[in-house]
Amino acid sequence: MIQPSYQNLRHDQPEPGIHLVTIDRPKALNALDSATLAELARVVAGVAADAEARALLLTGGGTKAFVAGADISEMQALSPEQARSFSSRASRMFLDMEALPIPVIALVNGYALGGGCELALACDWIVAADNAVFGQPEVNLGIPPGFGGTQRLPRRIAPGKAMELLVTGRQVRADEAVAIGLANEKVAADALLARGVELARTIASKGPFAVRLVKQAWQRGQSLDLAQACAVESDLFGLAFSTADQKEGMRAFIEKRPPVFGGR
């Protein structure tokens, strides 16, 4: 698969089905400006259209930052209308990434502040390097978060802890991020990419249709009560029995051999 060229990021496939996106604006500590957000939107659309995609890994170039935040040099002169538009464009892109049918994993190296923390929160889970630093410091600039931080953070961690971080701007390092449930695990910085590929490889070895159904059930259930959410799960469970993957997976289990899934 030939990847289009980008100015502010790199898009690679280290293994079949595994997409790796690296935000690469080292002089700006990978800050999110309009151009970078537009390129991310193109990548997300491309991954969504790839029927062979199994997982998306998202990281930052260099060793200092995953994404240090939104680009303040671009934001400082925005009018209220322009600021709302900037926020809305980013939010739409984050929602599109969140809606991808495959797992999306943030590999956070260095600073993930403001828009960078919000970008990581829009991923399904976070692996933190031992030098990772998370935070929503927008109140230090006289603004609230604008890319979903006030909504996703209290959905990821305890609401009271989220409010504390949002209104104080306090930053947390990798150990605390894991302890409060913001990150799933901490790894050495030089092992971060390898760990991400390992996780993506594990996902790719499972039934592709089943993985997509798991994510669909999880996403749809978040806005429903338990009974409705379980009904959605039952519908998707039944749907899985129409697939070749279900037949292969169960046959392989009975025959005591590894399954060979085709994503059908």
**Active-site residue numbers?**
118, 138
CA atoms within 13 A on the CB side of 110: 16
Burial of 246 (0-12, 13-18, 19+ CB in 10 A): middle
For the chain, first and last CA: distance in Å? 21
Measured CA angle at 213 (ends 208, 217), to 5 deg: 155
CA angle 105, 106, 109 (to 5 degrees): 145
* CA 219/CA 236 separation, integer angstroms: 12
CA distances from 182 to 128, 161, 169, 224 (A): 9, 10, 15, 23
Residue 70 is given by DSSP the state B
SS3 110: coil
CA distance 21 to 121: 16
Amino acid at the residue 143:
I
